[in-house]
Structure 1
Amino acid sequence: MGTLAAILMIVLFFVLMVFVFSIALLTPLIGKRNLLFVVFLGFTVGVIGGAFFISPIMDDIPDMARAVYQFTDDSPEVISVDVSTNTNVTQFIKTTKSIEGVKSVESSGITIKTDAFSDTWKNIIMGRASSINSNVTSISIPSNNTLILQVKENSDPQTVINSLDEWLMFVGGINVKYSTVHVSVNVDASQVDSVVSKLPQDQIVITGIKGPVEDKINYLNSVLPKKSNVVLVCGFLGMLVGLAGVFIDTIMEGLRRTMNKFRRKEG
């Protein structure tokens, strides 16, 4: 739903409230005894308007807010991407850096899946990883078929994987089944959607987007009321509008008296 559609929905809801108010103004003709009818009518019309016109807008509020936040926040967002090494990772990083709005592209880690190996080989790999390739800064082995590597900034992850692949096969006869490079793409907040649309979706998996804008959206989602509560509030609003129409003369008279008191005090 676009912004114009949302505005139209709100306008239609207010039209319903005007209808309720107009019916309530007829109470001098239909009698005060029908006050219960006006209250019921106001609540029913409010619930219907809330369900059909206001509730659907709730789904679009985060996207509307995101558009506003993206153009008012200068802090970069970080798009986390997993790239299979079946893809040319080096070329992917180079191409991504050239996309408008991208500030930097960094490899934040590598996951390598292998054939199962013994605890002895686990210790050997842990001790030799940094000497196999000097770009490896740390390694963890959560299971006997998974290696998780951290590498130096601006190093070529594909080269790191190739050197480990060759060493594992040549020295230990351990076959690498597949590997994934975790890439962080730092992007201008206003360009996130554009950058995401230009990434090769068939070659990568976007695992998340983090940054000030996403933090604000997450907070907004946490405080937004449930649709059912919104519908009930609209129903009670319809009741209040109906009561305002019934007692409009009394309300106006009270306002006039209040204004007269202020004028006397000022005089």
Structure 2
Amino acid sequence: MDIITTIIYLFLFIIMMVFVFSIGMLKKYMPKKEVILVLLVAFLIGSIGGAFFLDPIYDELPNVVNAFERTMPNNEETLYLDLSSSINIDELKNNLSATDGFKSFDEKSINIPMWSFNEREHDYFDKIVGNIDSNYKNHTIGKSDIQITLADNYSSSQALKSFSNWYKLVYDDTISYAQVHAVLVVDSSSFDEFEQILLQRGIVASKIEGPIQDSINNTNSSMLTNTEFTLVCGGIGVVVAFLGIYIDSVVPIVRKTKKFLREKRRR
């Protein structure tokens, strides 16, 4: 929501509250029983104004906090990516590294889908995978897949090729697909640019960590629901109506207080 629209919505809500205040001031011309009706009308007007004018502004609060975090120096966002080995990861990395705000891009592990292992096959792969390539830092054998953690500066394409070569020798078949788990670190101020580059390739981060995401999560967890916020706005309407009803009593008290303070200073 742009600033002009925000100002207009706030102005319209204030006008509604002025109207509620004016209704409250008419209390002296009404029977005492009508006060409850005035408060009910004030609650409804406050709720309607909150739902139509303040709620859209309130929903933008995470984005406001988000924008503030982007301006802070040295803030970084970490994006966890699940990539298909069929995409050109080297080209993606070069594209990302050429963008302002790039920090690092590391291919951490690959996940190779297999068949449903029986116990003997599971034990066999658990013993043999670590000996296929010295750049396999670690490995985990699942029920129907193999996850291999890569050494630093070792690419997923190299890891998949070495595994496929071994698999060809043993099983006379090829492995051509794996899911690549990578970690991208960028400046918070450039987060949108990198997110757009990924979206153009159909890539969505499976997890994001950093000040921006933390601020969004914290803000969302502390915010009221739309219904709760609307009820609070209705309560504001009731408070404004009370001020209008008792303004004749409040003004003299305020004047007496100011006069008392002035006289006290003179002494």
TM-score under structure 1 length normalisation: 0.90
Deviation by residue 1:47-78 (Cα, 9 ceiling, x = unmatched): 11112112233332212221121212522101
CA distance in 2, matches of 1:3, 1:209: 29
Displacement of 1:205:
3.7
Structure 2 residues not aligned, in runs of 5+: none
CA distance in 1, matches of 2:183, 2:206: 10
Change (3 A) 1:196 1:146: same
CA distance in 2, matches of 1:76, 1:40: 50
Displacement of 1:46:
0.5
CA distance in 1, matches of 2:242, 2:88: 69
Counterparts in 2 of 1:146-161, with a 5 A limit?
146-161=145-160
CA distance in 2, matches of 1:203, 1:133: 31
Structure 1 residues not aligned, in runs of 5+: none
- 1:3–1:64 Cα contact (<8 Å) kept: no
Counterparts in 2 of 1:90-169, with a 5 A limit?
90-143=90-143, 145-169=144-168
CA distance in 2, matches of 1:5, 1:12: 11
Change (3 A) 1:3 1:130: farther
- Structure-1 residue corresponding to 2:218: 219
- 1:113–1:176 Cα contact (<8 Å) kept: no
- 1:115–1:175 Cα contact (<8 Å) kept: no
- Structure-2 residue corresponding to 1:41: 41
- 2:164–2:176 Cα contact (<8 Å) kept: no
Change (3 A) 1:52 1:262: same
Displacement of 1:253:
1.0
- 1:83–1:203 Cα contact (<8 Å) kept: no
- Structure-2 residue corresponding to 1:265: 264
Change (3 A) 1:231 1:203: closer
CA distance in 1, matches of 2:216, 2:134: 41
Do residues 14 (structure 1) and 1 (structure 2) align?
A: no
User: Could you tell me which amino acid in structure 2 is paired with residue 182 of structure 1?
Assistant: H
Deviation by residue 1:59-110 (Cα, 9 ceiling, x = unmatched): 3221222112121252210111111011122222222222221111011221
CA distance in 1, matches of 2:13, 2:35: 22
SS of residue in 2 equivalent to 1:26: helix
Displacement of 1:174:
5.9
CA distance in 2, matches of 1:46, 1:262: 35
Report which stretch shifted further, 157-166 or 108-117: 108-117
CA distance in 1, matches of 2:230, 2:14: 14
Change (3 A) 1:204 1:48: closer
Displacement of 1:177:
6.4
Counterparts in 2 of 1:60-75, with a 5 A limit?
60-72=60-72, 74-75=74-75
